Chain A
């Protein structure tokens, strides 16, 4: 049980660490590619900070949900999802209304976690690329 929690904590920390690296890379790029880099960077930091907090909250929710009866876990996870959704809505609304926050930066910060998870857990696997064009029918098992 303790080992399980440690593994999950390591996963959370590694994803947030990658997110920080990606943030820094995008910040440096924004100085060359964006007309007004400061509002973009503020938005990026704002969006990615909320995204990281949402991710942590998701981990806590799922850790609790798996110890519940299935029907209760379903309701619990859905309720928590909508709470996180409202938080995200408030964040996007604030970034639209506030002139010192670029909304594109916030959106990039919010959805960056998806690309980080895909890059670190799916596209870093050599077998994924090897099997991508392999037909299931050609496998020896024939299924």
Chain B
């Protein structure tokens, strides 16, 4: 059996790290869905407030969405442009 090289270890750990970073993408999805469900409930209860509800939800959802992008960036950089390999 070949010994594990430093590069292989860093790449394996990076892959695990990328997988863990992708968990960050699930949160905004669940949150946005929950907000949309509650928004639909709100519009059902008070149809005249639809404009305000959608407006507020749009701003909140857009801000929440960027949080998922942070995790995605970390994951993709670890996979395709790993800066740690250069340190070996």
- Residues of chain A at the chain B interface (Cβ within 8 Å): 1, 3-4, 7-8, 11-12, 54-55, 58-59, 61-63, 65-71, 73-78, 81-82, 84-85, 88-89, 92-93, 96-97, 103, 107, 110-111, 113-114, 117-118, 121
- Bound-state Cα–Cα, A114 to B42, Å: 25
The listed residue with most A CB atoms (<10 A of its CB), out of B33, B39, B53, B57, is: B33
The residues of A that contact B32 with a CB separation of less than 8 Å are 77-78, 81
Per DSSP, chain B at the interface is: helix
The size of the chain B interface, using a CB distance under 8 A, is 39
Chain B contacts for A77, CB-based, 8 A = 32-33, 35-37, 61
Known: A62-B54, A62-B61, A96-B80. A73 touches B40 (CB 8 A): yes
Number of A-B pairs, beta carbon distance below 8 Å: 119
Q: Which 8 A-B pairs have the closest CB atoms?
A: A77-B36, A78-B33, A4-B51, A74-B37, A73-B40, A114-B66, A65-B36, A74-B33
Distance from A86 Cβ to chain B, minimum over Cβ atoms (Å): 10
B30: Cβ under 8 A from any A Cβ: yes
Q: Is there contact, CB below 8 Å, between B65 and A81? A: yes
